Structure formats: structure tokens, C-alpha cells
Amino acid sequence: MFDFSNITRLLPLSIQRLIEKFKNNPKYSKIMNLLWYAVIIIGLVPLLLVLFKKTDEDQQQPGNTQNGTNNNTSNNTTVSRRGDLSLSGNKVCLNAKAFLQEDELFENRNDQKESGEINDEFNNDERIKSLKDLTKSNDVYLICQVSSDEEQNYYQDLLETRYGFFNQVKTLFCETSKGKIAFCRQINPQLCFEVDRETTRELIRFYQNVYMIKKQAKNGLNEDKVLEFSTITDALTNASKRK
């Protein structure tokens, strides 16, 4: 084993002898200058490393101005997507069943009254006004899950006759919830209105502004952190207030 105590004792003597040896040498001064420079550089390296490490740690702290600015920017981006939403200029995925009334659904078609002409009461309905405003100022995609050609034809006729303002809107039909999700992923909307939990639970992974329309909902966040409203009118009202 090395005896470090001897090394510590002999090192100063060796340095002293080296100095005496080169003291009368003309190159002594130059050599000593180089040695001093080397000592200074070697001594500065650890100090610089410590200083740089401290600077990095300070920048990573929440109170740091630069990092705080980045955090605020990130938070503002989230708010912009979730809080500062404006109901205009958005791509909107709207499940047709989110705004249809109970007696308009395919499964309840036998209970429908004879529609005839659409009366003034229908046109003045807040639900209809909200939907018209939505289609005027946004790029709306209607999505409807059906299980048969008969059901698809039924909804196509219903939308054309009772909801003519949707005629210029793209209507997409699919047979499964996965189909609805696939449509949304292709469209990449800023707003989604859906009716079933399975679909909204998946969509919330990719989009911030997802609304679920559910009868007797409490009008707020559900356990999946999805905004849940009992009517499309309430959901649109909530979205319009987030400006």
C-alpha cells in the first residue's frame, strides 16, 4: 500500500530541489511562468464546473425568470386550448345524436308525430339557433354511428328535411365507436361533441375541448375529466363563454 503521509512529506522537498536546480537556469523564469499558468488553469477548472452546475440548477428552479416564463407560456397554451376558446374558425366534430331530440332517434322513429312543415316554434328553438350559429362560423363535421343502411338512410332524410342548414356540412357515417374516433383523428378538431363515454374517454387523450352530451348530466366535469352537459345548447353556451 502507498504511504500517503510520506508522499505528502516528500513532495514539498522535491519541489524545493527542483526549484534550486533550475534557479540558475536562464530558462527558469519561463518554466516557472508556465508552471504557474498550469496551476492556475487546473485550479480554475473545478471552480468553473461548480459555477456552471449552480447556474443550471438555478435555471431549473420554478422561481427562475426564464423557466417561469416558459412555464407561463406552457400554461397559457393549455388555457388557449381549454379556456380561451372562441366559437368561430374551429374544426368541430359533432355527433348528430348529440343534438337530435328523443323522438327523432332511429330507435324511437315509430313514436314520431307527422313532421309536415317545420313550424316557427322549431325554428325559434334555442337549440336550433345555437346549431345554426355553430355551422355559420365553424367548419363542422357531422358524425353518426349507425348499424344498418336503413338507419343511415333514416338519418340522412331527417337531416335534410328538418335540419336543412346542415346540408352544406360534411356528414360521416360509421358502424363503431372506433370509426368515430378515426374520423376525429383525421379531422383533428378544436371541438368535439359526443354522446358515449367510450368515445369521449378516448378523445380526451388527444383533444382538450371534448364535450359529452348526456341526459340528466350535472353540467360539469365527470370522473373522466370530460365536460358533460345535458343538452347541446348548454354545451355550446359553455364553449361560447370561454373567450
Is 173 a member of any domain? yes
- Stretch among 35-39, 58-62, 187-191, 199-203 having the lowest mean pLDDT: 58-62
How confident is the model at residue 97, as a pLDDT? 93
Residue 141: which domain range? Answer: 87-241
pTM for the model stands at: 0.60
Return the sign of the alpha-carbon dihedral for residues 98, 236, 219, 223: positive
**Does residue 163 share a domain with residue 113?**
yes
Q: Do residue 47 and residue 164 come from a single domain?
A: no
Paired residues of 191 in beta bridges:
92
Q: For the residues 65-86, what does the mean pLDDT come to?
A: 38
What is the overall mean pLDDT for the chain? 76
Domain boundary among 17, 44, 60: 60
Coil vs helix vs strand at 52: helix
Q: In terms of domains, do 108 and 183 share one?
A: yes
> How many domains are contained in the chain?
2
pLDDT value of position 109: 81
Q: For the chain, what percent of residues have pLDDT higher than 70?
A: 66
The predicted model gives 156-161 an average pLDDT of 91
Mean pLDDT of 19-40: 68
pLDDT digits (tens, 9 = 90+) for 203-225: 999 998 999 998 888 888 888 88
The least confident of 5-19, 53-67, 134-148 is 53-67
**Residue 140 φ/ψ, nearest 5 degrees:** -95, 135
> What is the DSSP code string of 79-129?
HHHHTS--SSS-EEEEEGGGTS-GGGSGGGGGGPPP--SPPHHHHT-HHHH
Find where cell 358515449 sits: 196
Residue 179 — very low, low, confident or very high, per pLDDT cuts 50/70/90? Answer: very high
Any domain includes 172 = yes
Q: Give me the mean pLDDT over the 181-202 stretch.
A: 93
Please tell me whether residues 140 and 177 are part of one structural domain: yes
Same domain, 32 and 132: no
Residue 36 has pLDDT above 80, yes or no: no
Q: Cβ contacts of residue 225 below 8 Å, gap of 6+?
A: 204
- Whether 23 maps to a domain, the answer reads yes
Task: Considering only residues 123 and 77, tell me which one the structure prediction assigns the higher pLDDT.
Answer: 123
User: Which of 17-31, 194-208, 223-237 bottoms out in mean pLDDT, i.e. has the lowest?
Assistant: 17-31
pLDDT tens by residue, 83-130 = 445 678 889 999 999 999 888 999 988 765 554 444 445 555 888 888
Enter the DSSP assignment of 166: G
Tell me what pLDDT residue 67 has. Answer: 36
In this structure, are 115 and 221 located in the same domain? Answer: yes
- Between residues 52 and 59, the one the model is more confident about: 52
Q: What mean pLDDT do residues 153-163 have?
A: 92
